[in-house]
Amino acid sequence: MKDILNNIWLKRALAVFNLIYVAVIVLLTIATFLYKFEINEGAQSAFFTVYFILSALFLVFMLFTKDIIITRISSMLLLPIVFFLVLFNMNNIIIFVPPLIVAIVMFFYTSAPANLKVLLGTIYIMMYVLGIFAYFIANLLFGSSSTVETVLNADLSPTDPVYAAYDMNYVMAMTSDGKTVSPDGNLEFYICDVQNKEEGQVIIYVVPHGQDKTFNFFTLKQKGIKRKVKFFYGRGKVPEVYWSGSNILTFKMEDDEEYTNSYVVMPDKNYFEFLGIS
């Protein structure tokens, strides 16, 4: 058994196998940059269990092969990769905690020259400290921390205080059975209650439809592409909204005399939404 564990070819094979974990973290980083990561309803426990077990298993494999050049290189690269995973998922720490632990442990335990570790360690510490500091500053400058948006649809819980402020039967009748989707299936509108320091607002948004990617444990939801079609001051009243064409949204607040048609042109994707820039 000892001879098998000390076999250099076994270690090299495992070192190559460990690249799967690095590749998964890279793909997860890219995915959470482009999409909003949401764990599917009822799959939270299964996802957390699998995610933690796989991270722990690959950590053991990487520690076992810490003297192999492939593992040494990947261990040095994991921390900067996970840095971006942290930035893109600051509101979902469960996504980056397991790979961050793996990256930190491997950085200290992998076989590498001490001077190189000191140099890279200093760079990585500055990267994390300055990067996270810049993230919070950007969100303070561009974000709307005093604004709370609540989507008005069938998913809104009756126990939510916003629920009682609206005629939800009317809302659900207007947004059920695919009525929010444009005739060509490319766009979808939703109505949003906005609570802020002023009197509040009701906003009609349009987003792409059918661009989400659903997997067994999680869903990647399109983000960064959203058009604010119309906003109304005050809360408690919902406009009548419907599609009168593939790109034409028609709406009218109950106090208005005439309907308004809006030709919807979607903006380019905002890749900096994670910084609070809208």
Q: Where does a domain end: 142, 174, 201?
A: 142
pLDDT value at residue 6: 67
Q: Within a domain: residue 243?
A: yes
All residue ranges of the chain with pLDDT < 50 are: none
Burial bucket for residue 201 (CB in 10 Å: 0-12, 13-18, 19+): middle
Q: Where does a domain end: 126, 142, 158?
A: 142
Write out the two tokens for 4: 């098998």
- What radius of gyration, in Å, describes the C-alpha atoms of the chain? 24
The answer for residues whose C-beta is within 8 angstroms of residue 154's C-beta and 6 or more apart is 172, 175, 176
| Same-domain status, 134 and 152 | no
Write out the two tokens for 70: 């492939």
pLDDT value at residue 277: 80
Residues 55, 98 contacting (CB under 8 angstroms)? yes
Q: What is the pTM of this model?
A: 0.87
Strand 201-208 with 248-252, pairing:
unpaired
pLDDT value at residue 206: 97
| Same-domain status, 35 and 136 | yes
The two most distant CA atoms of the chain are separated, in Å, by: 86
Write out the two tokens for 190: 């939703």
Measured distance CA(84)–CA(32) in Å, rounded: 10
| Same-domain status, 165 and 179 | yes
Residues 177, 254 contacting (CB under 8 angstroms)? no
pLDDT value at residue 37: 94
Number of compact structural domains in the chain = 2
pLDDT value at residue 9: 80
pLDDT value at residue 110: 87
pLDDT value at residue 197: 73
| Same-domain status, 185 and 120 | no
How big is the chain, counted in residues? 278
Residues 276, 138 contacting (CB under 8 angstroms)? yes
